[in-house]
Amino acid sequence: MKPEKVTIKKIVNGGYGLAHLSSGKIVLVERALPGEKLSIDIDQVKKTHCHGSIREILVPHDSRCLPPCPFHDSCGGCDFQHCKPQFQAQLKTTIIADLLSRNNEPSLRQALPLLQKTIPSPRTFGYRQRIRLQIINGEKLGFRRFRSHVPVEINRCLLAAEPLNHVLENLPELSHFRSLAEHSSELELQLNPDSRKVVAIFRFSRKPRPTDINNARTVCTQLDALECIFFSGDQFQLTGPFATDRNQETLLDNTLHISYNLNDNSRKPLKLQWEIGGFFQVNPEQNKTLINLVLHFSKANPDDTVLDLFCGMGNFSIPLGQRTKEITGIEGQGSAIRSAGANSRNNGLTNTVFVKKPVHEACRQLAKEGQQFDCVVVDPPRRASRG
Ligand SMILES: C[S@@+](CC[C@H](N)C(=O)[O-])C[C@H]1O[C@@H](n2cnc3c(N)ncnc32)[C@H](O)[C@@H]1O
């Protein structure tokens, strides 16, 4: 197909630039910016629209920059590294505004004027405390390609905290890692905020055997930045931790901890823990801003009752519970509910109720019972399972 000249109208969900072809058909262009004039190749034609990629930038956006990551062209990890960080935040606001304004649900369309500006991360790079990597051919590590399931090898990620990068760079060199990688498709690296060391979770195709456990211990001995290794899989329960020596293993458990001094620092620091493999916001510094914002917008006061949907380990429920009469948290994952209960106890709360149920089911039940709340917090995953 011949290249086409287009002008990008706006950036839509997924990070694509939307433009019209000369035929009038919509084309979604990878890594474009609004207002840019581009020469594009059409890569895929669908019934309702096409997908295109940039052949030449004829008129660039003012905020376009050279992506600092050397893997940017092939790796699918980042959508907006081709523009300056301040503009990335603006783009995210416009994408959400676009989704709200076109939503079929009238109450969501009406919520548009309430939309606030996106607050950029305090750090542009090095902020992620967790990365999930593909294991390639039993020996290399990488992410998926842009909009594809095909993996691409990387040995550094600009977004990841430095200890994660140290492990990412050095792990594939170790022969005992490769013995583990043979039985594994995915590796999660998670930073322990207390020790600043890395916890690795191998997604294993079968139950780990004694040789795998010995290999895991050897890998920890050879790589000081690695605190311990766990094995997860469909056929067995989370197994670990395995560390340099057995004494150390007895000191570790399957939880990670963080504490925050929130804006109204008259209170004791908020203490949170979560289980390995459970959800914790990827950017711990930005999470503090997020919790402060939830407290600010909820206008929490001591007589209020609050419903926290998709509450996870109580990231918002616990600080809200400290400031309100009662909080009910709904969450589908058992490990998160266990952590929410532990977080409630560790922060001295007695006014929290955590329910393990799919949110849709729990909401139907609450409505049937005629329960009412002064405030509802909703923090769904990118794709909520209907459960
Ligand atoms: C984006 S996380 C937010 C967790 C928490 N609010 C936080 O800030 O840490 C979304 C949570 O929703 C849970 N979840 C996903 N689908 C669900 C469903 N259908 N019903 C209940 N919980 C669900 C996930 O297990 C996850 O803990």
Q: Is 361 in the pocket of ligand 1 (CB under 6 A)?
A: no
Output the CA 223–ligand 1 centroid distance in Å.
Answer: 33
pLDDT tops 60 at residue 386: no
Q: Is 334 in the pocket of ligand 1 (CB under 6 A)?
A: no
- Average confidence score pLDDT of the chain: 94
Residue stretches of the annotated binding site for S-adenosyl-L-methionine: 281, 310, 331, 379
Query: pLDDT, tens digit, for every residue of 147-159?
Result: 788 999 999 999 9
Answer yes or no: pTM beyond 0.90.
Answer: yes
Three-state SS across the chain?
CCCEEEECCEEECCCEEEEECCCCCEEEECCCCCCCEEEEEEEEECCCEEEEEEEEEEECCCCECCCCCCCCCCECCCCCCCECHHHHHHHHHHHHHHHHHCCCCHHHHHCHHHCCCCCCCCCCCCCECEEEEEEECCCEEEEEECCCCCEEECCCCCCECHHHHHHHHHHHHCHHHHHHHCCEEEEEEEECCCCCCEEEEEEECCCCCHHHHHHHHHHHHHCCCEEEEEEECCCCCCEEEECCCHHHHHHCCCEEEEEECCCCCCCCCEEEEEECCCCCCCCHHHHHHHHHHHHHHHCCCCCCEEEEECCCCCCCHHHHHCCCCEEEEEECCHHHHHHHHHHHHHCCCCCEEEEECCHHHHHHHHHHCCCCCCEEEECCCCCCCCC
Query: pLDDT, tens digit, for every residue of 362-380?
Result: 999 999 999 999 999 999 9
| Average of per-residue pLDDT across 22-30 | 95
pLDDT band at 351 (very low <50, low <70, confident <90, very high): very high
Q: Which pLDDT does position 385 carry in this prediction?
A: 58
Q: Is 34 in the pocket of ligand 1 (CB under 6 A)?
A: no
Question: Which of 274, 298, 317, 331 for a ligand 1 pocket mutation test, highest count of atoms within 8 Å of Cβ?
Answer: 331
* % residues pLDDT > 90 (the chain): 89
Q: Which pLDDT does position 141 carry in this prediction?
A: 97
Output the CA 330–ligand 1 centroid distance in Å.
Answer: 8
Output the CA 192–ligand 1 centroid distance in Å.
Answer: 21
Complex confidence, ipTM: 0.99
Q: Is 30 in the pocket of ligand 1 (CB under 6 A)?
A: no
